[in-house]
Amino acid sequence: MKRLISIVGTTGIGKTRLAIDLAKHLDTEIISCDSRQFYKEMKIGTATPTDEELAEAKHHFVGNISINDYYSIGLYEEEALKKLNEIFSKKDVAIMVGGSGMYEKAVVEGMNDLPVADDDNQKKLISIFENEGIEPLQNLLEELDPEYYSIVDKDNSRRLLRAIDIIWQTGKTYTENLSTPKAKRDFETIRIGINAPREIIYERINLRVDKMMENGLLEEAKALIADREKVALQTVGYSELFRYFDGEWDLDFAVSEIKKNSRRYAKRQTTWNRKLENVNWVNYDNSLQEALSLLNKLD
């Protein structure tokens, strides 16, 4: 049986480092399931692995598409499974890493057989978004499916639109739709989660944002102003800086908002990861040794 090692954890906790160290140790390749790192124009703000890190182990789905490209979880699932088959044709193990829970789950468990987008629903919801902003969509989803609302990226308009559309079409909550049984995978998955105390996670997030600013996040965001309406850019690290460019906020406040919203995102990731099945938790300060020890026990 081929084996997929899926590394989960909050933003900034050290998933990239553990994935690379494991890939080197096991002589295999890495698949990213971080939906923000797919976009080649957003390297700094999404903490994409550096050129040096990418050279340490072979990565897939990092900087592979443009913010102008259409992409979806279903498309990712299809392409990721195809890539896994290629890796499994020459290796017994592959590694997947990233902070996007829905994308990880799509590969590990499969997508539910959800209906395609309904044109009328989409037009209605897009009209609300364009005329009234994202808040009415957030309120609507919270009312229709509080459970999914507690874990969804609330600033991602596309996720909100999709969930509401499915609820309207099926008459069931999005959570209920997602919980229907799916086809079994022909590989075994071992989930390894990296754990850290909340104050450590928050401290690392704050330092990471400072480092992003030092590395040129402001310039990266400035170059993307013309594309600010694209879905890929409705995300932490960019939307706050666009408000600075608009003169709405000063820079220090915008940076503090990036830190605050990143911490909120980490909180949602923690909620999501707690609901995952079969996660083997390792400590952030000894993750490689604990992960290797765990894998040895399983062999």
Q: What average pLDDT does the segment 88-95 reach?
A: 98
Quote the percentage of the chain above a pLDDT of 90.
Answer: 82
CB distance 139 to 154 below 8 Å: no
CATH numbers and ranges of domains, the chain = 2-111+182-298 (3.40.50.300), 119-178 (1.10.20.140)
Q: What average pLDDT does the segment 112-134 reach?
A: 88
The whole-angstrom separation of Cα 225 and Cα 5 is 37
Residue 115: predicted pLDDT = 81
The set of residues, in sequence order, having a beta carbon less than 8 Å from that of 261 and lying 6+ positions away, is 155, 236, 240
Q: Is 90 left (phi over 0), alpha (psi -120 to 50) or beta?
A: alpha
Binding site listing for ATP: 9-16
Residue 141: predicted pLDDT = 96
CB distance 227 to 239 below 8 Å: no
Instruction: Scan for tokens 């509080």, then name that residue.
Output: 146
Which tens digits make up the pLDDT trace of 151-166? 898 888 888 999 999 9
- Tokens describing residue 297: 């026990």
Q: Evaluate if residue 284 carries a pLDDT over 80.
A: yes
Residue 117: predicted pLDDT = 84
- Tokens describing residue 257: 């908002």
Within 13 A of 239's CA, how many CA atoms are on the CB side?
18
The set of residues, in sequence order, having a beta carbon less than 8 Å from that of 192 and lying 6+ positions away, is 5, 6, 7, 8, 18, 279, 280, 281, 282, 291, 294
- Tokens describing residue 231: 């879905």
Most confident of 5-14, 125-134, 225-234: 5-14
Binding site listing for substrate: 11-16
The set of residues, in sequence order, having a beta carbon less than 8 Å from that of 76 and lying 6+ positions away, is 33, 35, 38, 61, 103, 106, 107
Q: What average pLDDT does the segment 26-48 reach?
A: 97
Which tens digits make up the pLDDT trace of 243-262? 999 999 999 999 999 999 99
Q: Evaluate if residue 4 carries a pLDDT over 90.
A: yes
Per DSSP, the three-state class of 206 is helix
Instruction: Scan for tokens 């915008």, then name that residue.
Output: 254
CB distance 78 to 102 below 8 Å: no
- Mean predicted lDDT score pLDDT of the chain: 94
Residue 211's pLDDT band, with cuts at 50, 70 and 90, is very high
Q: Which amino acid is at 195?
A: N
Binding site listing: 9-16
The whole-angstrom separation of Cα 62 and Cα 82 is 16
The closest of 57, 56, 109 to 80, measured between CA atoms, is 109
Q: Evaluate if residue 242 carries a pLDDT over 90.
A: yes
Dihedral sign computed on CA atoms, order 38, 44, 45, 48: positive
Residue 262: predicted pLDDT = 97
Q: What is the DSSP string of 43-89?
A: TTTTTPPPHHHHHHS-EESSS-B-TTS---HHHHHHHHHHHHHHHHT
Residue 181's pLDDT band, with cuts at 50, 70 and 90, is low
Q: Evaluate if residue 202 carries a pLDDT over 90.
A: yes
Q: How far is CA 46 from CA 27, 129, 195, 209, 217, in A?
A: 26, 25, 21, 10, 10
Q: Evaluate if residue 180 carries a pLDDT over 80.
A: no
